[in-house]
Structure 1
Amino acid sequence: MNPTRPSTAALRIVIVAPDSLLADGTDTRAVTEAERSRSLRIGLLENGYNIVAVLPADVFLPDRLAQIAPDMIIVDAESQARDTLEHVVLATRDARRPIVLFTEDEDTSHVGAAIAAGVTAYVVAGMAPDRVKPVLEVALARFEHEEGLRRELADARTELSERKVIDRAKGLLIKAHGLTEDAAYARLRKTAMDKGLRLADVAQRLIDVSDLLA
């Protein structure tokens, strides 16, 4: 387990659910959905999870999630799963968090799209309390793995971009001062060290000045 994050049971969880699951329904469908929703929450509490809020999927969701900053989001949805997921994914676009969907809707035609959009785990049917903990542990582990891959890819892209900038700056020095490639690199590196700047930043400044004088 990653020592920098809390244990799974200590996670601060926000549940996002349609209004029909938050109110007392008078029709059979509403009562069934409300009961299923209560079963999920009981399972979370029995496993020691910290439910910090239950929110509807409305236009205020992004602001509420930003204020609460939960460790995980659980989407509790039935027939409105697609619309609810869209709200949650949009709300977490700039601050990614693991998203777990619990539903008994057997129409799984949009599972692939949901996973591609950022849903970490998609659980269909079955709200037994003893299933909750392993599902959330796997979801969290998968999320951390995917985030690690994202960071690695972002770092690789940044490194490639910076390498191109440094190569262009070396080319400018070679052309302007008749330096060898090694000498041009050494000059950039010395300037970066003297000024306490990153090599790529020095290279970019040189390019910016060259563009202004061109």
Structure 2
Amino acid sequence: MKRSAKAPLRALMVGVDGPRSEKLFQLLANVGIELIPRSVSEDSLYKLLQELQPELIFVDVNSTARDTLEHVVSSHPALPQPVVSADGDLRISLRRLAGDIGISLYVSERVSPCLLQALIDITISHCHSIGVLEQELALLADNSEIMVAALH
């Protein structure tokens, strides 16, 4: 099943759950990328990738499925591949994505380098801004409890 060149990009998340998946889901929807809502078992990964044909795969760096994904995509070059680039900015961005957010990214050849860089930068920025807001809200909540206690 070949997809139209004008169809929106599709993303699959592997082993990404909890708050990070919610943040990524919101971000992908905001930039017009369709999230393929599937739970992925390691046994069905190849079949699922062939069937759904995602252009982007987000995988938790600590997920056991990452090893399976690495094996599957190395055997099938038409599937999204790990992002490796000689471009210094992209390499730094990828290290930040993996280190700060805990996610590795696999991308098909249909995704342009410019779009890829923008997506990585937006993802990092969005996740960090949400984290900062959560910290500020927690601090405000702590301060309001102190103020209430001081008034009584």
Question: Which is greater in Rg?
Answer: 1
Q: How high is the TM-score relative to the length of structure 1?
A: 0.35
